[in-house]
Structures are given as structure tokens and as C-alpha cells.
Amino acid sequence: MKTYHPHGTENPKWWQTAVFYQIYPRSFQDSNGDGIGDLQGIINRLDYLVDLGIDAIWISPIFPSPMADFGYDVSDYCDIHPVFGNLETFDRLLAEAHACNLKIILDFVPNHSSNQHPWFLASRSSRDNAKRDWYIWRDTKPDGSPPNNWTSMFGGPAWTWDEKTQQYYMHSFLPEQPDLNWRNPEVVDAMHNVLRFWLKRGVDGFRVDAILCLIKHEAFLDNPPVEAGSYWEKWGHQFEPRYTVNQPEMFEHVRKMRHVFDEFDERVHIGETSTVDVAGLLPYYGQPLDGYDIPFNFKLLHADWNATEMRAIIEEYYDILPTGGWPNFVFGNHDIHRFATRYGRANHRSVAMLLLTLWGIPTLYYGDELGMEDVFIPVEQRIDPWGIDVPESDFGRDPERTPMQWDASLNAGFTSGTPWLPLAQNYAQVNVADQLSDDQSTLTFYKTLLHLRRSHPALHNGSFTFVDGLGNDLLAYLREAGSQRLLVCLNFGTQPRTVILNHLTLDCQTLLSTHFNAHTGTTLSLQAHESVLLQLK
């Protein structure tokens, strides 16, 4: 049995022991009846978040935006979109969140702006405009085709022709999201100042969007075709983005942004990474640790619900972590179908058990604490551009972005108007109000687990040891700190399993079971899909 010892447990930073909770602001709580969630709505629900037991809220973009990509197309980096409120509402949110010990993390979208951003309007106004080089402009090939074969992450060419100035501009995502030119020092300064604007205001950190795309190969080389069965092929790509993502200079920019964070106390620097393998996460930590505090780890999220596969990923990650680097895990966000749907409803509490008891910083996605599932949206009703642009695919992200289900009243208590995306049909059965009063609900399960995590140092910075020899369906590990000895055991299988842990004294107390069972004695009998957290004596 191999044991991992977290480093620096004496004086952990706040984010090392925190649980993060992502709010997709359009869908959390509407306060004015326009059918779209807003900042006042979040303020109104702070009590819920405190009671839930999370520590930090990450809010997806709330800045002025034409909403071509629902906020990931920013037209003013230093203001709030009126649909969400204004700077005064934001300051109030910050003050009220801080008053109840919640941190606020914003989303920083450095790779691209909106095509309506004044910078881009200036850039496209003429070839000799001072901001021309703030974006990536190239001539057509002699035959009139785009400069190279680069494609957008959402499908189709990464180049859009500008009739007026007779050049193409580059966009890693939608044509409405032109890529900023991070090789231009003026862009770098302007964007660093955006970070300072919010950090000075008191935000506790940023999640940095799509960092992988920040720098493109200088020679604008064609990307090679994808290999069959590869990660990129799975995501609908025809070409492997060899010259468009994860370029060495990109990591330099991560380091420079990090220095801006370091001008302030105790802010957290989180990055949306994208790597084909676990090892790809390493450079995002920096060398030595001057990159992201939390380079989002999506490796479990992309894995099958399988004990052997999950263990292999976790073990590889722990094995290669740089000294002093903290692990983190993500199972859901606004870009991926909900895990209660991906892994099956029967497993959704086990996902939480894993996420909240592994050694690593967890990020939760709003509504997962209720067991929210994907909402089916017919192709003709899709509003996510990715779903619309690739209609034959299941890439559309509307299903996982539907409104939070607060109660059984009209529109689930989310809005008094017409919700911007349809609500789940089962909201009268799956909602906060009902689950709060049910002592065996998924919400009660999450609250109990979050409370246990907070009150047991072994769960956030205790040592971690896998238990070997349990076969394919079971995953078990020990978390230990001082005299605290906890055992987590998850049954990934569809059959009940009896676990005999010879080398451990199974003289235990059940702290929590996904099925709210109480296990005693020296043999553990788990139901199908059951997971437990036990205290060993």
C-alpha cells in the first residue's frame, strides 16, 4: 500500500482546504422576473450556500456581452452586464458574501473578446488603426482561401473574412469571439490591468478561461489530421490542434498573470486547462509553482465510471504532482453533460463521495447537489451555439445549463417570468425545498458530507492510501491525520459486494453512506452502487 502525504499541511492556504461551487449565473436565481438569473438572485441565495457548506463561489462571466456564447464573448471587461445587475450590485454581493465567509471567484476570458468590444471595432476599422495588431489578422492565400487549415473549437474554420479591410481574423471559438493577439505587449498590459481592476475591488481570484488557446504558433503552420480514436477526434475535430493550443509561450503568460495575482494577498489563480493526459497538467502548475494554484483537472470527468480506470488516473496524478502542488478534481461544469446523466442516477451520490473525500480541491457545479440531470432539448430548440453549429452531435451544452430547482412552485422558484432555458420536468420532485426536509435526500447527503469534510482535517489534508486487492468494482482508500482514521469504500458495480479488509480492523462507525445505511462489525456489505465513509477505531 502506497501512502501520499500532502505537503505544507501545517499552514494551508484558504483555497487548499476550500470547496468551490460553480454558479452559472443565468440559471441560478432570477430576482426581477426577466427569466434570467442575476447577481441579486445570488445575494438572495447566499444563506443556502452557507448552509450547504461550501467555501468559494466561482461565477461564470457576468460582464457586458452580446451573449453570442452566453457571456464568454466579453464587450467590456470592467463592468457588469445590465441583465445581471451593475457594479453596485456586484460590490454588494462581494460584501455580503465576505460577511458570511464565502469567497468570490470571477471568470477571466483572456483569449478572445466579443466582436463588439471597442478594441475589435477599432481593430477592424482599418489596417492602420492603432489596435489593428491587438487581434490576429492574416492575408488570404493566393487562391483566395483562408491563411491555413485551423478550425474553431466549435467546428468550421477559425478564420472569418473581413470585407472592409480585405483580411481574415482568427477565432478559436465563434466568429463573434475574435482572438486577442497576446504577442502584442499592449494587449498583455491591458489584460493585466483588467485583472487588477477586479482584484483591487476585492475578488478572491479568477478562473481563467480557455488558456490553452492563448498563443498560436508564430509560423501559422497547418495542423495535422487527428488520429483515429484520439481525444481531439472525440470532440469533433478534424485536425489535431498542434499549432494552436498549449504552445510553450502560453505557459510564460500563465506565469506573468500569476505575478499580477501575487501583487495582492491570498488570491487564487485557477486555470481552465485542456490536456490529453494527466502529465499534461504539470506545466500548468509552473516551475516551481509559479503557474496555477488550481489547474483544473478534468481527467476523472472524461473517464468512464469504472473503479480501475479512476484509480489509475488518481494514482498517476498523485505520483507526478510537483512538490508543494495541490491536486484538484472536477466532475461537472457548464460545458459537459451532468454526471447524474453520464454515469447514471444510481451513481450520482458516489461521485460526490469520491470528489469530496479524495485528496484534492473539489469544484462542484450548481444543482449537482440535488442530483440534477440533463434536460433534453430538441435540436430545433437549441440555443447553445456549439449545439446549433454541430446539429448532428450531442456537444450542445443547454442540457446541463437549465435553471436551478428551488421548490415545487411554478418555474421551480427560479423565476416569475419565462425561464431562458426550459426547466427539468421533474422539478416538482427534485428541488431544494423538498430535499431539505428529507433526511435521506441527495441534498442532505451533500450537506452531511460537506460538514464531515470541514470537521475532519483527515479529509482535506490527511494522508491518502489506496487499499489494494479489492477487484474491479471496488475502490477504497484511507485518509489519516493524527488520530483520525477514515476509510472510504465505493462500490462501482451493479451487484452487492462484501468487503473483507483483512489488514484493517473493521471496528468502525459509519459516518455516511450513499444509501444512509449503518455498517457495523468486521465485514462490510455494500449494496450495488453504495459508497461509505467510515471512521476506524
72 lines the binding site for ligand NOJ (CB under 6 A): yes
Q: Please identify, using beta-carbon distances, which residue of 38 and 55 lies nearer to Ca ion.
A: 38
- Residue 84 CA to its chain's centroid (Å): 21
Q: For residues 273 and 302, what is the distance between their CA atoms, to the nearest angstrom?
A: 13
Asked if 32 interacts with Ca ion (CB under 5 A), we say yes
Among 52, 210, 212, 488, binds ligand NOJ (CB under 6 A): 210
Q: Which amino acid is at 176?
A: E
Q: Based on CB atoms, which residue is closest to ligand NOJ, 384 or 530?
A: 384
* Cα(345)–Cα(342) distance, integer angstroms: 8
Q: Is 373 a catalytic residue?
A: no
CA dist., res. 437 & res. 372, Å (int): 17
Residues 107-126 interacting with ligand NOJ (rule: CB under 6 A): 109
* Residue 133 binding result from Ca ion, ligand NOJ, none, given CB thresholds of 5 to 8 Å by partner type: none
Residue 106 site contact among Ca ion, ligand NOJ, none (CB < 5 to 8 Å, cut-off depends on kind): none
Our CB check for Ca ion shows the closer of 82 and 144 to be: 82
34 binds, among ligand NOJ, Ca ion, none (CB under 5 to 8 A by kind): Ca ion
CA 361 → CA 28, 59, 327, 534, distances in Å?
Answer: 23, 17, 6, 21
Q: With CB under 5 A as the contact rule, which of the stretches 30-38, 362-370, 387-395, 483-491 interacts with Ca ion?
A: 30-38
309 binds Ca ion (CB under 5 A): no
Figure out which of the listed residues 34, 252, 407, 480 binds Ca ion, where binding follows CB under 5 A.
Answer: 34
Residue 359 binds which of Ca ion, ligand NOJ, none (CB < 5-8 A, kind-dependent) = none
The secondary structure of 151-188 as a DSSP string is: B-TTSSBSEEEETTTTEEEE-SS-TTSPBB-TTSHHHH
Choice between 213 and 321, CB closer to ligand NOJ: 213
3 state DSSP class of 41: helix
Catalytic-labelled residue, pool 263, 266, 319, 507? 263
The nearer residue to Ca ion, 62 or 355, going by C-beta atoms, is: 62
CA distance 449 to 531: 12
Assess 91 for contact with ligand NOJ (CB under 6 A). Answer: no
Q: By CB under 5 A, is residue 30 in contact with Ca ion? A: yes
Q: From the candidates 209, 384, 398, 400, which is the catalytic residue?
A: 209
Question: Sign of the C-alpha dihedral, residues 435, 402, 451, 331?
Answer: positive
For ligand NOJ (CB under 6 A), the number of binding residues is 9
- Name the residue nearer to ligand NOJ (CB basis): 105 or 210: 210
Start-to-end C-alpha separation, the chain: 20
Q: What's 277-301 look like in SS3?
A: CHHHHHHHHCCCCCCCCEECCCCCC
- CB 107, min distance to ligand NOJ, A: 8
Query: Cβ 210 to ligand NOJ, closest distance in Å?
Result: 4
Whose CA is closest to 191, among 294, 260, 276, 124?
260
Site for ligand NOJ in 327-366 (CB under 6 A): 334-335
For position 36 contacting Ca ion by CB under 5 A, the verdict is: yes
Got the DSSP string for 386-448?
A: HHHHSTTSS---GGGSPPP---SSGGGGT-SS--SSPPPGGGGTS-HHHHHT-TTSHHHHHHH
The HSE-up count of residue 294 (CA atoms within 13 Å, CB side) is 28
Using CB under 6 A as the binding rule, whether residue 449 contacts ligand NOJ is answered as: no
Active site residue 263: yes
Closest contact distance (angstroms) between CB of 36 and Ca ion is 5
376: left (phi over 0), alpha (psi -120 to 50) or beta: beta
Closer CB to Ca ion, 30 or 530, in the complex: 30
Nearer to Ca ion, 402 or 435 (CB): 402
Under rule CB under 6 A, which residues in 276-295 are in contact with ligand NOJ?
none
Which residues, 6+ apart, have CB-to-CB distance to 388 below 8 Å?
382, 396
Distance CA 234, CA 223 (A): 17
The contact pattern for ligand NOJ, residues 159-188, with x = CB under 6 A and - = no contact, is --------------x---------------
For the bound state, the minimum distance from the C-beta of residue 212 to ligand NOJ, rounded and expressed in Å, comes to: 9
Asked if 69 interacts with ligand NOJ (CB under 6 A), we say yes
Picked from Ca ion, ligand NOJ, none, the partner binding residue 30 (CB below 5 to 8 A depending on kind) is Ca ion
In sequence order, the β-bridge partners of residue 478 are 465, 487
- Residues with a catalytic annotation lie at 209, 263
Chain residues binding Ca ion by CB under 5 A are: 30, 32, 34, 36, 38
Residue ranges that bind ligand NOJ, judged by CB under 6 A = 69, 72, 109, 173, 209-210, 272, 334-335
